């Protein structure tokens, strides 16, 4: 779906009422495009691209083309960006790059990402890139753009998400890194890991956790407990992970945390603590979002 600017017509409204309408529209706009990610086709500005996959993705992208998300509210906490993309093996060139900029198409270049071939233009897969440089703008509204460099068609984009890598904790007790350092595992009851001075988004009702646990180890009493203010802090939510098929079979599971509205926008030490039997779960990453994103 392509968004274009249209004049706001508040027929019969006073100037004050018109301002209120504009403010309400802006709040909806930020909520719709902010917090954790967006569908690529929901850009606000583009050059040179075409919609593909029945309008569900953006393709035919050459060097010099761009996709823009104006007035995009970056989530306050993230360190990586996930991009669902597709590239034919024959189109993947060593000089192909996705350039992330803030401040518009010609804005500040923050990151240069090298996408890998996915096996075909219809084979979309999630690729994760370091976005720690972008995270300095977390919690701010920016004009966020994807620019492209390279040869021929560079990539088709379906969606993107900002995530927090679990292994980038500030403190932990009892856990070990797994998956070559890309996830946290060997988690028993009483273990924990956490993030100091973590700021929750202003608008969320869900946490999405990329996790792994085999069926034989998935016990009815296993819980992930989110605590606020340290490992012994206020218990915000009890989450029951579901079996994924194996310790290396990661999948994203979403949990409703809509009861945490009172903490939206606040900052404290966020911890993952655990209850259960035996090894409970491996965690690779997480993000807070509004359901439907």
Q: pLDDT tens digit string along 173-211? A: 999 999 999 999 999 999 999 999 999 999 999 999 999
The answer to whether residue 18 scores a pLDDT higher than 90 is no
Reported confidence tier of residue 268, pLDDT bands at 50, 70, 90 = very high
> Which burial class, exposed, middle or buried, applies to 117 when counting CB atoms under 10 A from its CB (0-12, 13-18, 19+)?
middle
Rounded mean pLDDT of 254-270? 93
pLDDT number for residue 43: 98
> Which pLDDT band holds residue 170 (cuts at 50, 70, 90)?
very high
Mean pLDDT on 80-99: 95
Q: What is the pLDDT of residue 35?
A: 53
% of the chain beyond a pLDDT of 70:
87
Query: Is residue 259's pLDDT more than 90?
Result: no
**Nearest-angstrom CA–CA distance, 121 and 217:** 38
State the chain's mean pLDDT as an integer.
89
Predicted local confidence at residue 51, as pLDDT: 98
d(CA 213, CA 7): 51
Higher pLDDT, 31 or 40: 40
Confidence grade of residue 293 (pLDDT, cut at 50, 70, 90): low
Which residue in 86, 89, 120, 73 sits closest to 288, CA to CA? 73
Domains and CATH numbers, the chain: 15-163 (2.60.120.260), 169-289 (2.60.120.260)
User: Among residues 215, 222, 201, which one has the least CA distance to residue 264?
Assistant: 201
pLDDT at 22 over 50: no
Note the pLDDT of residue 261: 83
What's the mean pLDDT in 248-268?
A: 94
Answer positive or negative: Cα dihedral of 113, 118, 120, 126: negative
Q: Tokens in use for 286?
A: 């997480």
């Amino acid at each position: 779906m392509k968004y274009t600017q249209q004049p706001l017509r508040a027929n019969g409204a006073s100037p004050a009422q018109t301002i209120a309408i504009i403010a309400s529209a802006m709040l909806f706009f930020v909520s719709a495009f902010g917090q954790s990610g967006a569908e690529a086709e929901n850009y606000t500005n583009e050059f040179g691209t075409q919609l593909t996959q029945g309008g569900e993705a953006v393709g035919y992208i050459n060097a010099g083309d761009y996709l823009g998300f104006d007035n995009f509210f970056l989530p306050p906490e993230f360190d990586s960006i996930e991009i669902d993309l597709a590239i034919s093996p024959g189109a993947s060139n060593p000089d192909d790059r996705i350039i992330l900029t803030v401040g518009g198409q010609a804005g500040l270049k923050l990151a240069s990402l090298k996408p890998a071939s996915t096996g075909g233009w219809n084979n979309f897969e999630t690729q994760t890139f370091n976005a720690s440089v972008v995270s300095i703008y977390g919690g701010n509204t920016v004009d966020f753009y994807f620019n492209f460099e390279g040869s021929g068609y560079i990539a088709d984009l379906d969606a993107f998400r900002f995530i927090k890598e679990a292994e980038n904790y500030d403190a932990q007790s009892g856990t070990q890194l797994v998956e070559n350092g890309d996830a946290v595992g060997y988690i028993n009851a009483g273990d924990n890991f956490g993030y100091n001075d973590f700021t929750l988004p202003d608008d969320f009702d869900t946490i999405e956790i990329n996790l792994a646990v085999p069926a034989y180890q998935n016990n009815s009493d296993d819980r992930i407990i989110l605590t606020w203010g340290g490992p012994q802090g206020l218990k915000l939510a009890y989450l029951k992970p579901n079996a994924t098929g194996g310790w290396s079979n990661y999948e994203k599971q979403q949990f409703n945390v809509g009861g945490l509205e009172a903490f939206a926008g606040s900052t404290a030490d966020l911890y993952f603590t655990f209850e259960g039997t035996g090894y409970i779960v491996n965690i690779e990453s997480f993000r807070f979002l509004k359901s439907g994103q």
